[in-house]
Amino acid sequence: GACNNESRGALIVLEGLDRCGKTSQSSRLVSYLEGLGHSAELWRFPDRTTSVGQMISAYLLNQSELDDRTIHLLFSANRWEKRSMMETKLKAGTTLIVDRYSYSGVAFSSAKGVDLEWCKAPEIGLLAPDLVLYLDMPPEKASERGGYGDERYEHLEFQKKVAQCYQILCDPSWKMVDACQPIEDVQKQLQKIVLDNVLACRKGKPLSLLWS
Ligand code: FDM
């Protein structure tokens, strides 16, 4: 049946620097899965639609000032407020393609100098992704791509620090994809990895929790 563990959806996260192509690749992946008849949704963090998300959005737009730990905990709260819906959707068989997750939370805050273990702590107990796709692109290249907007973190020097923090966080289970390739080539590589993962989750791979 649609609600047993054997047919659950996969929790698939895309990570990478600003302007590496995560957002367009994420929506293409959802279309791809839907085209194959799978139930799939595009999610993103921060989710700016909630009241916590609106505080985060104001901060990112430089309309408010918050200290580094306060904004870190708001980003984390923004994931916690979506956790039960996430679990419900996955158990109902929907695959979630998530544009940024806890790794962005830890990489961006630790790039400011906040202790890495402190950054991880509020993330403990969130659902662990079944798959992390890292869209790998040098910060210099990403910064040239259509330019950055005006948001708080969209500066080359900061993005270089974020890249180093992602390096510390990444583990051997992450799939690194060279995001400097043509967009169609990146998409083809992502599609294969994602489909394999969706099928593995349908076969009964259990859900697990961060950080394990
Ligand atoms: N960001 C994103 C964080 O600093 N912490 C987090 O937990 C998350 C999810 O917010 F610069 C940063 C990353 C990025 C900014 O991202 C907003 P989008 O993808 O441009 O909305």
**Whole-model pTM?**
0.96
**pLDDT tops 80 at residue 61:** yes
Residue 12 is given by DSSP the state: E
pLDDT band at 49 (very low <50, low <70, confident <90, very high): very high
Unique residue bearing structure tokens 């990478």: 16
Peptide bond connecting 211 to the previous residue in cis, omega within 30 degrees of 0:
yes
pLDDT in tens, 65-114: 999 999 999 999 999 999 999 999 999 999 999 999 999 999 999 999 99
Residue of the nearest CA to atom 13 in ligand 1?
A: 104
Ligand 1 center to 12 CA (angstroms): 17
Whether 127 contacts 210, CB under 8 Å? yes
Residue 127 is given by DSSP the state: B
pLDDT in tens, 5-45: 458 999 999 999 999 999 999 999 999 999 999 999 999 99
